[in-house]
Structure 1
């Protein structure tokens, strides 16, 4: 039962946007390989296979059962206690404060300090419960060549308005919470979740409807821009955490960046996350959430590698062209993180998931559509 004790040898990561059913038998091995090649950023390549339902050797199946019995109940209870503890802190700090519980205002003063400090400690404790005992962090933000990253940066150094990170798993948020406890953009449904909903409101999260179009989308971009500018001007404001890809990958790729993080025309802090693994990848790509959490809790040890890059100061040209700004930051993160650039996005990920559920025609013709 020491499969996880060896040093990690490969990386992977991702998330799922909706629950997926078992892979239908209609999909042959050849079709599955073709799909994995076509949608490589979302293909799962750990020992559990596509959707986490691959065949395991008998010995590993027995080991998984033992881990489920010995680890999962303890870790689940410990995780829930930590979540409830932070919820209670948030509930106490929002008493007699108008609008916070409804997401219409943010905490200030000692209330915010209490939420932030307890949140950072409890987030790190949650990572420990999930098996992330050690986190390997590399800080290049103070490297001798930091000033050479961008030749046209402003002489008057501004505060970065947002943390810009590649997106691999829901664990990403826990890590960032344990370090800087930022606010972030989340699906509107998150605000209604038990326990997590109030915590996210205390963080000052911006809630969006992923399927909304038109004016609502513009309103979200405007809210993000305003928040990022506010953070850049006030040292005591919490940074925004933004995942410009808009969804998760298996950790080896970097999808096109949306421009929301760059419309404010202020510096950003690029951060690269990797999840080396030996058997189970913490990436949330083609697996339903409940199964992913279960297998994560069954893993004795999990790993995170973090690289914090120098603050990126946009040139005047980049300030006038958010797409250029976004693309240049994306190229920097890909180069420094040894990530493969991909042109795929959320629609292709949904098509891949549909194919895994037996609707192969939708995926095969996605690009033609």
Structure 2
């Protein structure tokens, strides 16, 4: 009997060693994944997918923030969104929406376009001004008390901002044209709030966004271009054609809403710049490059490998968040770049990487999906290991 117990204990120790070895192998595999898919890897204090492990001091800070900051910020944020929705509702109440683009969904995934961004007059001015102001207030509520903006003044004689061009009117020289599109790197959904506060542009959004409560009407006031992303890629002719038309319209007509595009097509951790899609550059119009950087000590606001609910919770728990913006001069394409959108996109990308100290990467959305799927599988194995240990 005693010998059997010894054999059983010996067997249990072997299983424990094998278990620990297996878990360490999975951890090593995750580290290897983070290196291979570096543009999407989280490297903050909260760990992969925001699942920790958390130091005891961080647990205390999170606990304190959850009972103090989170409720107040959540109520304020919802109140601001509701207030702006009511403003949009009141000032569009007796206005018919502008209708453009396709009237029915076609194989390109473009759906019926309907917006209030083409509405003129004082009502449009109220919607835009209040939208910019409340977007900045919302960022303040989220802990972005100061936003550092810099504007490198390169070739200032040949480049000008859209505001300067609007003020000069028709007498400006030909090359001082209004940019047709703003292009920016993409790190988080917070990017949209910043751009709303800075210039209130139109965005490309999923068709379902236009049907959401509160957000749906706000997106129509922004003049969002709705697409069915599940159907085809954003580079498909129909989507590109619609975006191209809006870019040309914004370039020709200063009263038309400026369109804002994230040419990477997905988010990164903020340290990298992915290959640009050509949609923003097909029209051959000038573009306004903007670089967003989110310095952090504890929590990275990059929306990668972390669930939306967990991200919002941790964001609200941060006492202070930081945002740095680099607004480059308007980029005027050469004739060669106008004839070759890929060259145009590549040159703007390299300029943004240089000015923003970003690392160029050739990975894309497909690689990101592979990374997320593999990461989820490995973390599931670790959870199984821990359950067995318990």
TM class by shorter chain equals 0.7 to 0.9
> Compared with structure 1, are the counterparts of its residues 159 and 53 closer, same or farther at alpha carbon in structure 2 (3 Å cutoff)?
same
> Which stretches of structure 1, 4 residues or longer, exceed 4 Å deviation after superposition?
100-103
User: In the aligned structure 1, how far is the partner of 2:31 from the partner of 2:215?
Assistant: 38
Task: After superposition, give the CA deviation of every residue in 1:46-91 in whole Å (9 maximum; x if it has no partner).
Answer: 0001110011112221221111110000000000000001100111
Count of paired positions: 331
User: In the aligned structure 1, how far is the partner of 2:254 from the partner of 2:174?
Assistant: 18
Which residue in the other structure is 1:260 paired with? 279
Deviation at 1:212, TM superposition (A): 1.8
More deviation, 103-112/332-341: 103-112
More deviation, 159-168/104-113: 104-113
Q: Where in structure 2 are there 5+ consecutive unaligned residues?
A: 1-22, 100-111, 160-172, 380-390
- The reply to whether residue 287 of structure 1 matches residue 306 of structure 2 is yes
Pick the structure with greater CA Rg.
Answer: 2
Which residue in the other structure is 2:60 paired with? 62
- The reply to whether residue 91 of structure 1 matches residue 89 of structure 2 is yes
From 119, 130, 134, give the equivalent of 1:118. 130
Deviation at 1:188, TM superposition (A): 1.6
Kindly indicate whether structure 1 or structure 2 has the higher relative contact order, using CA contacts under 8 Å at least 6 residues apart.
1
> Compared with structure 1, are the counterparts of its residues 26 and 237 closer, same or farther at alpha carbon in structure 2 (3 Å cutoff)?
farther
User: In the aligned structure 2, how far is the partner of 1:109 from the partner of 1:258?
Assistant: 35
Deviation at 1:104, TM superposition (A): 2.0
TM-score, normalised on structure 1? Answer: 0.85
User: In the aligned structure 2, how far is the partner of 1:100 from the partner of 1:240?
Assistant: 16
Deviation at 1:123, TM superposition (A): 0.1
Which residue in the other structure is 1:277 paired with? 296
> Compared with structure 1, are the counterparts of its residues 203 and 26 closer, same or farther at alpha carbon in structure 2 (3 Å cutoff)?
farther
**Aligned-partner SS, 1:230:** helix
Which residue in the other structure is 2:18 paired with? none
8 Å contact from structure 2 (residues 185, 292) kept in 1: yes
Q: Where in structure 1 are there 5+ consecutive unaligned residues?
A: 1-24, 361-369
Which residue in the other structure is 2:78 paired with? 80
Task: After superposition, give the CA deviation of every residue in 1:316-353 in whole Å (9 maximum; x if it has no partner).
Answer: 01101100000000000001111000010111111111
Which residue in the other structure is 1:132 paired with? 144
> Compared with structure 1, are the counterparts of its residues 359 and 211 closer, same or farther at alpha carbon in structure 2 (3 Å cutoff)?
farther
User: In the aligned structure 2, how far is the partner of 1:335 from the partner of 1:211?
Assistant: 33
Which residue in the other structure is 2:166 paired with? none
TM-score, normalised on structure 2? Answer: 0.81
- The reply to whether residue 220 of structure 1 matches residue 239 of structure 2 is yes
Deviation at 1:285, TM superposition (A): 0.9
Deviation at 1:171, TM superposition (A): 0.7
**Aligned-partner SS, 2:377:** coil
Structure ranking higher in helix proportion: 2
User: In the aligned structure 2, how far is the partner of 1:183 from the partner of 1:66?
Assistant: 38
Task: After superposition, give the CA deviation of every residue in 1:204-248 in whole Å (9 maximum; x if it has no partner).
Answer: 100112222289932211111111111111122221111000000
Which residue in the other structure is 1:311 paired with? 330
**Aligned-partner SS, 1:311:** coil
- The reply to whether residue 33 of structure 1 matches residue 52 of structure 2 is no
User: In the aligned structure 2, how far is the partner of 1:215 from the partner of 1:261?
Assistant: 11
User: In the aligned structure 2, how far is the partner of 1:161 from the partner of 1:317?
Assistant: 18
Which residue in the other structure is 2:155 paired with? 145
> Compared with structure 1, are the counterparts of its residues 229 and 277 closer, same or farther at alpha carbon in structure 2 (3 Å cutoff)?
same
Correspondences of 1:1-369 after superposition (within 5 Å):
28-99=26-97, 103-106=113-116, 107-140=119-152, 143=153, 145-146=155-156, 155-213=174-232, 217-358=236-377
Deviation at 1:100, TM superposition (A): 5.8
**Aligned-partner SS, 1:258:** coil
User: In the aligned structure 2, how far is the partner of 1:128 from the partner of 1:243?
Assistant: 23
